[in-house]
Amino acid sequence: GQSLEQPSEVTAVEGAIVQINCTYQTSGFYGLSWYQQHDGGAPTFLSYNALDGLEETGRFSSFLSRSDSYGYLLLQELQMKDSASYFCAVRDMGVGDDKIIFGKGTRLHILP
């Protein structure tokens, strides 16, 4: 089966850097995605890593290590508007199957 583990909550200070980790277990791993969701809003796609390494998009970076079944989302220069839930998701491909499985999400609290 598939499973994803990420912390339920993380707290950081405005202007600081925070890292949200995600470990996964899946039989047909094909990539790791990250999504942001503000309270009452729809998820927003942030990034996708299919290969090992770091992908940077502005203040957000995402990292993947396939050998460790591990990835993280790095948020720099935190702003109050970054307070949200962040979900990692794996693309799981098998015979005749191709779907995205989400983790339970990490609630990020930002203190002024």
Partner 1 sequence: DADVTQTPRNRITKTGKRIMLECSQTKGHDRMYWYRQDPGLGLRLIYYSFDVKDINKGEISDGYSVSRQAQAKFSLSLESAIPNQTALYFCATSDRDGGNQPQHFGDGTRLSIL
Mapped onto helix, strand or coil, the DSSP state of residue 90 is strand
On whether the CB atoms of residues 73 and 12 are closer than 8 A, the answer is no
Tokens (6 digits) for 73? 């989302």
First to last CA, the chain: 41
Note the residues at the interface with partner 1 (CB under 8 A).
30-31, 33, 41-45, 48, 50, 87, 89, 91, 97-105
Q: How far is the CB of 100 from partner 1 (least distance, A)?
A: 5
Q: How far is the CB of 99 from partner 1 (least distance, A)?
A: 6
**Residue among 71 and 103 whose Cβ is closer to partner 1:** 103
- 84 vs 39: CA distance, rounded Å: 7
Q: How far is the CB of 66 from partner 1 (least distance, A)?
A: 15
**Residue among 58 and 112 whose Cβ is closer to partner 1:** 58
